[in-house]
Structure 1
Amino acid sequence: MALSDLTADDLGQLESELAAQYAALGDRGLSLDLTRGKPSPEQLDLSERLLSLPGEGDHKAGKTDVRNYGGGAGLPELRAIMAELLGVDADRVIAQDNASLSIMYDLLSFSMLFGTPDSERPWKDEPKLRWLCPVPGYDRHFGITEALGIEMIPVSLDEGGPDMDEVEHLVATDPSIKGMWCVPIYSNPTGTVYSDHTVSRLARMSAAAPDFRVIWDNAYVVHTLTEDFPKVPDVDTLAAEAGHPNRFLQVCSTSKITFAGAGVSFLSSSRENLDWYLGHTGIRSIGPNKVNQLAHARFFGDAEGVRSHMQKHRQIVAPKFEAADAALRRRLGGHDVVARWSRPEGGYFIDLEVPDGTATETVRLAKEIGVALTPAGSAYPYGQDPDDRHIRLAPTLPPLAEVETAMDVVGLCALLAACRTARDGM
């Protein structure tokens, strides 16, 4: 039954019942965390063998001694493995240090300071800089553009990707729009997978800025929750055919595949973009951690080794997503349109949509009884969700039993906040 169908007396009775349950949970002294999409200890244990690799005496990759300086593009053996997973040529992939976030920060910083291969001037010298941000989206993306003083423009993320009518209009008419964030597979936090039609439009659309860029963050390209892996579109070929060979800058990493603090990051793009990037990184660095790259190459063996490894992750993570969905259904399923949530087939997050104006209160209520959530609004530029509706949930880190408890608390808090808002509106 929808809360709007309840009488004032019935709504008051429901609120009293929920408040009593809330108080009882508060007495349990919970301390649960659903804030960030971290791998669990069990997932990290899957890569324990990495700690003994490459091993004493194993320090050659071809003719390269990985213990020494140089090799700014990374080891060809590991680049070839990731290239197969991304569906691109190995010579169009470079391997760097542990965080793709660092690559993304570099990409924008270098563009600000020096401009891109297609820029007339450094971006810092432009009269205005703007960037498209599909929402709900990734808060760390928004943190980069905000830190660099680039104005962010939210565009809605629909079932098959960003609202392309809006994107095409904005990009074609405004030369100050220099780029766009995209998480094309299992988007953070909704789990959206971009449709082929959306990808094609992104590759082919006209842009008023000749140096328009799409940062294609393929963080979850192999993070499936099913037995199948997603199709990876060849965006570079599509863009090159449309006359935009330098449009896409694709990044990913092994951070959630092996060790989050000791993975390997990758950048795939046109040869011109890669030469531009390596030209700047060659000044700030004398090469990435090739010992770690060799360890990863030994650990995986080939692309099929990565896929096999990710199925082990799935066996740990998928039950947590199933438990989260079941807990939310138990709490919220009997109350029509109180909330809805994503049921992703991969990635690390669930996007919970609560009634307008109640997300902040839901997060506050949960925190008061020991369940930490990402702040409401974090999936929007500047932390401002205009409808105060979206909450990002990250079920991967806690043990399964804690996921069930935490999601039950979230559902209760969402229902209690909705009930109080409905009562106040009478």
Structure 2
Amino acid sequence: MSTLPQSSSTAIDHEQAAADYAALLDRSLSLNLTRGKPDPRQLDLAGALLSCDLSDHKAADGTDCRNYGGLQGLPELREIFSGPLQVPADQLVAMDNSSLALMHDTIVHALLSVLPGAEQRWSDEPDVAFLCPVPGYDRHFALCERFGIEMIPVPMTAEGPDMDVVAELAGGDPRIKGIWCVPKYSNPSGVTFSEATVRRLAEMETAAPDFRIFWDNAYAMHHLTDEEVEVADLLTACADASHPDRAFVFGSTSKITFAGAGVAFFGSSPANVEWFLKHAAKRTIGPDKLNQLRHVRVLKDTDGVRAHMARHRELLRPKFDLVERILQRELGGTDLATWSRPEGGYFVTLDVRDGRAREVVRLAGEAGVALTPAGASHPYGRDPQDSTIRIAPSFPGLEELEEAIVALAVCVRLACSEQ
């Protein structure tokens, strides 16, 4: 991720900014940049899943995919995603469509059952806290709020979370049981964790013996450039550091095939996988193996997934390029805003003048451009600087996206002129 330079100050003509905004209101726009959804053309790329012949409903090992069982998921599907998720196939679990559901269930299992290496259930602790790199993913924070887990913000750097802060907090406070991480093309900053960051996460000493890294590798194969950025192998790093049970790895095909009908994955150490499956067996007799079989037959192998993701890139890259061009043209060379230039993932982070993000979002909403609420990128919806806005360019068509980003720039200029 990189940001554009800013000048020391920018004089804004308030009357002109107000006139531009009035003209924007007259257009009665109805545009939405709130969530990182694939657009219909991306979903069409996986259309073969709808016509896949399943008259032969047997998996490679002879499993009848119409029937109960197979809690860990089809071995051939786990093999396909083993490399991209950096988890050995026999330590990977393939479930139904939602990795968020797997994160939810993992927290529930930790609250109700003793984790490997733990002294007691999390629900028996006086307090439980998580470290939350910011800006971060609002749905991670929502899970913590749902279960009364205290959230402690940690600043993000260009190499991932500030590891001096992480190590000090995790090493000194036994209440801290976990940290949320989106290690590649982070939501929403676009940062990819450096090898040094991964190594320190694996090696650091923690006050809680059952400290876990929730490694949400949502964008493992979601490159926007021809150069495919890689992140260090966390599971191996943890094992090498004598903390083999520290990492929980999550991923899914939600932005690879069908967002609402894909496959989600959980990966970890053998002890953690045994623990997870033991408790998952109380909730389900097995995943949708026919859907998993469809994915195997359409994607075929890891190279097939890479080729599929290259087609996604062809559709997504022009949108991110468009956002960059418009922001540069409308706000470049000013001190009104900086923004990320991601090499992958689904988001652009726009940072406006301190104290102005909520007003920008309000103005945009009144003009018919829906944005993710200001503050959503921080725990409890509170951005202390009130400066960060997440832009999700993936869903609109190019014409609508251009209208939305131009309108957003108008709102930035007006909000800052009122400061």
Deviation at 1:4, TM superposition (A): 4.1
What's 1:383 paired with?
A: 381
CA-to-aligned-CA distance 1:202-253 (integer Å, 9 cap, x gap) = 0000001000000000000100001232223211111111110000000000
- The answer on whether the counterparts of 2:253 and 2:259 sit within 8 Å (CA) in structure 1 is yes
1:135 aligns to 2:154 (yes or no)? no
CA-to-aligned-CA distance 1:15-63 (integer Å, 9 cap, x gap) = 1111111111211111000000000000000001101124333444321
- The answer on whether the counterparts of 2:57 and 2:64 sit within 8 Å (CA) in structure 1 is no
Deviates more, 1:300-309 or 1:223-232: 223-232
- The answer on whether the counterparts of 1:359 and 1:391 sit within 8 Å (CA) in structure 2 is yes
Q: Unaligned stretches of 5+ in structure 2?
A: 1-5
Secondary structure, aligned partner of 1:221: coil
Task: Note the 1:252-291 alignment, pairs <5 A.
Answer: 252-291=251-290
- The answer on whether the counterparts of 1:117 and 1:273 sit within 8 Å (CA) in structure 2 is yes
Structure-2 separation of matches of 1:87 and 1:125: 33
1:354 aligns to 2:332 (yes or no)? no
Task: Note the 1:93-108 alignment, pairs <5 A.
Answer: 93-108=92-107
Structure-1 separation of matches of 2:15 and 2:8: 14
Give TM-score scaled by structure 1 length: 0.95
1:374 aligns to 2:348 (yes or no)? no
Structure-2 separation of matches of 1:320 and 1:24: 25
Deviation at 1:338, TM superposition (A): 1.0
Structure-2 separation of matches of 1:73 and 1:141: 24
Letter in 2 for 1:134: P
Task: Note the 1:72-221 alignment, pairs <5 A.
Answer: 72-221=71-220
What's 2:3 paired with?
A: none
CA-to-aligned-CA distance 1:351-400 (integer Å, 9 cap, x gap) = 10000000000000001111000000000001110110100000000001
Letter in 1 for 2:46: S
Letter in 2 for 1:415: R
Structure-2 separation of matches of 1:185 and 1:60: 32
Equivalent of 1:345 in 343, 346, 361? 343
CA-to-aligned-CA distance 1:395-418 (integer Å, 9 cap, x gap) = 000001111110111111111111
What's 2:293 paired with?
A: 294
Q: What is the total number of aligned residue pairs between the two structures? A: 414
Q: Unaligned stretches of 5+ in structure 1?
A: 422-426
Secondary structure, aligned partner of 1:229: coil
What's 1:424 paired with?
A: none
Structure-2 separation of matches of 1:181 and 1:394: 21
- The answer on whether the counterparts of 1:54 and 1:291 sit within 8 Å (CA) in structure 2 is no
CA-to-aligned-CA distance 1:269-319 (integer Å, 9 cap, x gap) = 100000000000111100000000000000110000000000000000000
Compute the RMSD of aligned alpha carbons.
Answer: 1.2
Letter in 1 for 2:373: P
Structure-1 separation of matches of 2:241 and 2:344: 30
What's 1:394 paired with?
A: 392
Letter in 2 for 1:80: E
Cα 1:5–1:322 change in 2 (3 A) is closer
Structure-2 separation of matches of 1:382 and 1:59: 47
Task: Note the 1:24-35 alignment, pairs <5 A.
Answer: 24-35=23-34
Structure-1 separation of matches of 2:297 and 2:115: 35
Structure-1 separation of matches of 2:50 and 2:105: 29
Structure-2 separation of matches of 1:5 and 1:218: 39
Identical-residue share of aligned pairs (%): 53
Deviation at 1:185, TM superposition (A): 0.1
What's 1:310 paired with?
A: 309
CA-to-aligned-CA distance 1:185-204 (integer Å, 9 cap, x gap) = 00000000000011100000
Letter in 1 for 2:89: A
Cα 1:3–1:402 change in 2 (3 A) is farther
Secondary structure, aligned partner of 1:64: coil
What's 2:52 paired with?
A: 53
Cα 1:139–1:5 change in 2 (3 A) is closer
Secondary structure, aligned partner of 1:152: strand
- The answer on whether the counterparts of 2:71 and 2:277 sit within 8 Å (CA) in structure 1 is yes
Deviates more, 1:34-43 or 1:50-59: 50-59
Structure-1 separation of matches of 2:188 and 2:256: 18
Deviates more, 1:270-279 or 1:325-334: 325-334
- The answer on whether the counterparts of 1:54 and 1:294 sit within 8 Å (CA) in structure 2 is no
Letter in 2 for 1:31: S
Structure-2 separation of matches of 1:416 and 1:347: 30
Deviation at 1:67, TM superposition (A): 0.3
Secondary structure, aligned partner of 1:145: helix
- The answer on whether the counterparts of 1:59 and 1:291 sit within 8 Å (CA) in structure 2 is no
Secondary structure, aligned partner of 1:132: strand
Structure-2 separation of matches of 1:408 and 1:276: 50
Cα 1:155–1:259 change in 2 (3 A) is same
Letter in 2 for 1:28: R
Deviates more, 1:124-133 or 1:226-235: 226-235
- The answer on whether the counterparts of 1:221 and 1:230 sit within 8 Å (CA) in structure 2 is no
Letter in 2 for 1:383: G
1:70 aligns to 2:33 (yes or no)? no
What's 1:420 paired with?
A: 418
Equivalent of 2:401 in 400, 403, 416? 403
Secondary structure, aligned partner of 1:284: coil
